[in-house]
Amino acid sequence: MVTRKVGKYQVGRTIGEGTFAKVKFAQNTETGQSVAMKIMAKSTIMKHRMVDQIRREISIMKIVRHPNIVRLHEVLASRTKIYIILEFVSGGELFDKIVHLGRLSENESRKYFQQLIDAVSHCHSKGVYHRDLKPENLLLDFHGNLKVSDFGLSALPQQEGGLLHTTCGTPNYVAPEVLSQLGYDGATADIWSCGVILYVIMAGHLPFEEIDLPSLYKKINAAEFSSPTWFSPGAKSLLEKILNPNPRTRIGIDSIRKHPWFQKNYIPVNHIEVEEVNLDDIRIAFEGIEDQYVTEQSEISEGGPLIMNAFEMITLSQGLNLSVLFDRGQDYVKRQTRFVSRKPAKVIFSSIEAVAEWMGMKVHARNYKMRLEGVYANKVSQLAAVLEVFEVAPALFMVDVRKAAGDTLEYHKFYKNLCAKLEHIIWRPAEGLANPSLLRTLTC
């Protein structure tokens, strides 16, 4: 078992994992504040020539401080790693809520869209264009408010005429002019993506979706979509103005805000910047100022899986509708992909390993943590998931499962199949359990 401390932060479980970074839950030991710690190896950053991109992403997140944007607290560095300390957003991805409910009501969709437009407007006022807006990059906090995240593809217009020329983003959400490779305005491209997001959260499916990219691009270029019957006339009117394939006549943010559908129950965010942006910690992290490096401390002890402490367990329930978390009778997968078991930790681990291999996945296992990788039929991208076993009470274990790579919908299908094969180890409390709140918190 390993316990870690980085500077003043006690480091806990991994809550996200990508190709170049891990995100761990952490707690500021001086203030008790929960944070998300994004950890990147300096060697990886150098190998992939990502120094400028990472510096830009960090600088942008410092510049665009807003209630509906994930806040960057500070940047730390050791000899081998960069640590980005971010606001901990406990409610999960907006995408997971759509998977959970199928689609959102028009009123709830409008609230999220209003918050999205406020955040994007603030970015644009700072000359920042996100360029990868999609539900997976929109998080929800404890109060159900939207937070824009992942500025890894963001840009500041530096080319002549202010046009951007890099084709990037997720194809289904990308504006037609981005695909043309003739240069595009970052602001109008972001607005298109916001329109696709509004459509998705109201409809529960994409407006532009095809099996192959040429057919998809053809539909996007023609803005060939139809609105479901449950969309109100006001919503349809606004979407037609946003999903306009001509960027010159596409509606702008000021006009979106004046649209009658948008105006309903709209409360503009009260945002006043009172502190100056300090970029000194970025310079320290990337310019090798060693006397400013943070200390890393690890304690290793032999034994079983990690024991999840109280402050980590509390965060599992924040921002969740606990009344539905333990109902496995639904045909959708909740956003909290975890289950509990009373089987011995070694039995849990070996059972998962056996099922994963039966499913044709590659298994990499170590210290009660496992990475599963697999390529699905007719799919180009690889799906990867990480599982970790935690002891949350004597003889009670939680298995935390999260997507590490691949399509989110494919991940949900994989998780549902995995659980179906692990029924023999998944524990369900008896009806009438005196204190089921812990189990509701720990299960999906």
Task: Give the annotated binding-site residues.
Answer: 47
Phi, psi for 383 (deg, rounded to 5): -100, 135
Token pair recorded at residue 346: 């070694």
Rounded distance, CA 111 to CA 106, Å? 9
Render 277-346 in DSSP notation, one character per residue.
Answer: ---HHHHHHHTT-GGGPPPEEEEE--SSSEEP-HHHHHHHTTT--GGGTT-TTSSS--SS-EEEE-S-HH
Which residue shows structure tokens 């994004």? Answer: 38
Under a CB-based contact definition with an 8 Å cutoff, are residues 83 and 294 in contact?
Answer: yes
Within its chain, how far is the Cα of 198 from the centroid?
17
Select which of 118, 132, 190, 400 is catalytic: 132
Q: Coil, strand or helix: which one is 441? A: helix
Q: Which residues are annotated as a binding site for ATP?
A: 47
Based on the residue annotation, tell me whether 132 is a catalytic residue of this protein.
yes
Rounded distance, CA 306 to CA 389, Å? 7
- CA of 102: how far to CAs of 98, 208, 265, in Å? 5, 17, 24
Q: Where are the beta strands (DSSP E) in 213-275?
A: none
Q: Please, which residues have CB within 8 angstroms of residue 224's CB and are 6 or more apart in sequence?
A: 208, 218
Sign of CA dihedral 303, 305, 308, 312: positive
| Catalytic positions, written as ranges | 132
